[in-house]
């Protein structure tokens, strides 16, 4: 019998667009048993794309090897946090750069509140609103008044694309939390819980922006200037401010 050869992605960045959407759909599904979902993810890794040829190859493989033997192939799906890029949706929208590096703190504040509501209530409406909040109209800066107009475009994307965007936000958020431990002190959670299922205490960033703007030194200027600060510039200064206050 001919040998069956497979090439499996070893990280989120190596996933094809189809794999990314299908896997993220399952990552965002909290209604089904996760072990069942994980088995499906491993099969998606093996399949590469949904062609009939690849489906037959996977079926043949499963006739020779049990799915349990193949499960370690998807280990990175449970532990890694390297899905930081966001897909282009439409030429008229500005796509978030990897890790939201072009995002202002005000935009992140709105997006993160919507993400919190989505994580808490698991309602599709919040997922749709989160996606809309991450994209900007044309070349303009983030403007909450334009969100309904943006949503007219983003609401039409597939559920798989939406799930991929939400999960990329999750990964980026986890990256930010680990990069700025003073801003995001660790909450108590089980270490064996997958990173995308962890939840902790939440403080709206709108309150933090207001506090920074009202600080006597105003390191980032008034409220409007503070709100327009790039996300990582804001977090660097906030992180340093917290560390200094702990030393005094």
Residues 41 and 106 in one domain: no
Residues 75 and 174 in one domain: no
Residues 119 and 159 in one domain: yes
Residues 99 and 197 in one domain: yes
- Domain-terminating residue out of 25, 49, 79: 79
- Is 243 inside a domain boundary? no
Contacts of 221 (CB under 8 A, 6+ apart): 213
- Mind listing the pLDDT tens digit for each residue in 128-152? 999 999 999 999 899 999 999 999 9
Say if CB 8 and CB 23 are below 8 A apart: no
Q: In this predicted structure, which of 13-22, 54-63, 155-164, 168-177 has the lowest mean pLDDT?
A: 54-63
- Compute the CA torsion angle 72, 75, 77, 78 (nearest 10 deg): 130
Q: Is the pLDDT of residue 80 over 60?
A: yes
Residues 124 and 176 in one domain: yes
Residues 142 and 195 in one domain: yes
Residues 48 and 116 in one domain: no
Domain count, the chain: 2
Q: Is the pLDDT of residue 3 over 80?
A: no
Per DSSP, which regions of the chain are E strands?
93-94, 136-137
- Is 149 inside a domain boundary? yes
- Is 157 inside a domain boundary? yes
- Is 181 inside a domain boundary? yes
Backbone angles phi, psi at 184, to 5 degrees: -125, 75
- Domain-terminating residue out of 161, 184, 201: 201
Residue 128's domain comprises 93-201
Give me 114's structure tokens.
């919507």
Cα dihedral 201, 100, 109, 126 sign: negative
Residues 196 and 148 in one domain: yes
Residues 67 and 165 in one domain: no
Residues 177 and 103 in one domain: yes
Backbone angles phi, psi at 32, to 5 degrees: -95, 160
- Mind listing the pLDDT tens digit for each residue in 191-221? 444 444 445 566 788 888 888 888 777 778 8
């Amino acid at each position: 019998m001919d040998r069956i050869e497979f090439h499996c992605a070893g990280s989120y960045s190596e996933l094809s667009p189809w794999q990314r959407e299908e896997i993220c759909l399952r990552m965002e599904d909290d209604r089904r048993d996760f072990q069942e979902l994980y088995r499906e993810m491993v099969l998606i890794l093996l399949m590469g794309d949904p062609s009939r040829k690849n489906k037959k190859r996977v079926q043949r493989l499963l006739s020779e090897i049990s799915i349990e033997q193949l499960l370690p192939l998807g280990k990175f799906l449970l532990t890694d946090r390297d899905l930081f890029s966001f897909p282009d949706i439409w030429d008229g929208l500005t796509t978030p750069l990897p890790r939201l590096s072009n995002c202002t703190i005000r935009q992140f504040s709105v997006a993160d509140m919507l993400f919190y509501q989505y994580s808490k209530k698991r309602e599709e409406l919040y997922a749709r609103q989160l996606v809309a909040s991450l994209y900007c109209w044309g070349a303009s800066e983030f403007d909450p008044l334009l969100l309904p107009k943006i949503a007219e475009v983003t609401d039409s994307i597939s559920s798989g694309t939406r799930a991929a965007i939400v999960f990329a936000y999750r990964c980026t958020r986890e990256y930010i939390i680990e990069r700025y431990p003073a801003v995001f002190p660790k909450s108590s959670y089980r270490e064996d819980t997958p990173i995308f299922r962890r939840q902790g205490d939440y403080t709206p960033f709108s309150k933090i922006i207001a506090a920074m703007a009202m600080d006597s030194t105003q390191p980032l200027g008034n409220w409007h200037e503070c709100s327009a600060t790039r996300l990582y510039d804001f977090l660097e200064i906030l992180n340093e401010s917290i560390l200094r206050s702990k030393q005094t």
